[in-house]
C-alpha cells in the first residue's frame, strides 16, 4: 500500500514570499489533516478535511494560510506571505475509519529566511 | 483547550533495558490517547493507542497505561533495541478530531 505522499520535501524562501505544499493521501482515505511541527514541539493541527469539506480550521492563520482539497483527494496548503515564524515541518496525514490520524507523510521542511 | 505535558524530553537507556515515557493531560473529557514514533526525516507513526475505558493495553514489547483519576498515561517499552531510538509523542483527544500532542521524548538506545 502506498503511503501519504508530500512534495516538495524541502523549501527555502525569503519572508513575504509565497509557498505551496502538496499532499496525496492514501487512496480511499476520506479524512486528511495538515499539521505544523515546529522544531522541538509536537505537531499542531492546522486544518482537517472530510472528503472536500473542512471539519476544523480553528487553528489555521487564515490571514496568510489557505488550504483546499479539490475532489476530495489531493490537497494543497499555501502560505502567502510567509513569516520567519512559519519555519517548520508541514505534515500531511490521512485516516480511513480509525480514530486517530494514522498515516503521516514525510513532511515538507520549510525554512523562511 | 487541552494541555498535554510529556516527560522526559530526552531519555537514554542501555539495550535490553526498559524505557518509560509519561504524559499528563488537563481536560477530563479526553478519552482517547494515541502514541506516535517519529524517526529522523519521517512523519510520525501511530504505534499504540488506548481509550479511557481501558486501564492498560499491550502489544508485544510496548504497553500503555492510563490513570484517568490522575489524568496521566505512560508508554512502556521493554527489552529495548537500537531500532527503538526515535522521538516519541503522546496525544490526547476528546472528539476524535482535534488531537493535542505532547512535546516529544527523544529516546536513545545504547547498544
Q: What is the DSSP letter of B60?
A: T
Helix (H) or strand (E) holding B8: none
CA angle B39/A19/A89 to nearest 5° reads: 15
- Which tens digit of pLDDT belongs to each residue from A23-45? 999 988 888 999 999 988 899 99
Of the pLDDT bands very low, low, confident and very high (cuts 50, 70, 90), residue A103 is: confident
CA neighbor of A49 nearest in space, from A69, A23, A64, A28: A69
* Minimal C-alpha gap between A82 and chain B (Å): 23
Contacts of B102 in chain A (CB under 8 A): 42
A-B contacts at Cβ under 8 angstroms: 54
**Contact assignment for B89 to A43 by CB distance below 8 Å:** yes
- Peptide bond preceding A40 in cis form (omega within 30 of 0): no
- Give B 70-89 residues with CB within 8 A of chain A: 89
Q: What is A9-54 written as a DSSP string?
A: SEEEE-TT--EEEEEE--TT--EEEEEEE-TTS--EEEEEEETTEE
* Minimal C-alpha gap between B101 and chain A (Å): 5
Of the pLDDT bands very low, low, confident and very high (cuts 50, 70, 90), residue B96 is: low
- Which tens digit of pLDDT belongs to each residue from A67-101? 999 888 999 999 999 999 999 999 999 987 656 77
Three cell numbers written together for B13: 537507556
Amino acid at each position: 500500500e502506498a503511503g501519504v505522499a508530500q512534495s516538495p520535501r524541502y523549501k527555502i524562501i525569503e519572508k513575504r514570499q509565497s509557498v505551496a505544499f502538496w499532499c496525496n493521501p492514501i487512496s480511499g482515505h476520506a479524512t486528511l489533516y495538515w499539521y505544523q511541527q515546529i522544531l522541538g514541539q509536537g505537531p499542531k493541527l492546522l486544518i482537517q478535511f472530510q472528503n472536500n469539506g473542512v471539519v476544523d480550521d480553528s487553528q489555521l492563520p487564515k490571514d496568510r494560510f489557505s488550504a483546499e482539497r479539490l475532489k476530495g483527494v489531493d490537497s494543497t496548503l499555501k502560505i502567502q506571505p510567509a513569516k520567519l515564524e512559519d519555519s517548520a515541518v508541514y505534515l500531511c496525514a490521512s485516516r480511513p475509519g480509525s480514530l486517530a490520524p494514522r498515516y503521516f507523510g514525510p513532511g515538507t521542511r520549510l525554512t523562511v529566511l | 483547550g487541552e494541555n498535554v505535558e510529556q516527560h522526559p524530553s530526552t531519555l537514554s537507556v542501555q539495550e535490553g533495558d526498559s524505557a518509560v515515557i509519561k504524559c499528563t493531560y488537563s481536560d477530563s473529557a479526553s478519552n482517547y490517547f494515541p502514541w506516535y514514533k517519529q524517526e529522523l526525516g519521517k512523519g510520525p507513526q501511530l504505534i499504540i493507542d488506548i481509550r479511557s475505558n481501558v486501564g492498560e493495553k499491550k502489544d508485544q514489547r510496548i504497553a500503555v497505561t492510563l490513570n484517568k483519576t490522575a489524568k496521566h498515561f505512560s508508554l512502556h517499552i521493554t527489552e529495548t533495541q537500537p531500532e527503538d531510538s526515535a522521538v516519541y509523542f503522546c496525544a490526547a483527544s476528546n472528539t476524535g478530531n482535534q488531537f493535542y500532542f505532547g512535546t516529544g521524548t527523544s529516546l536513545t538506545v545504547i547498544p
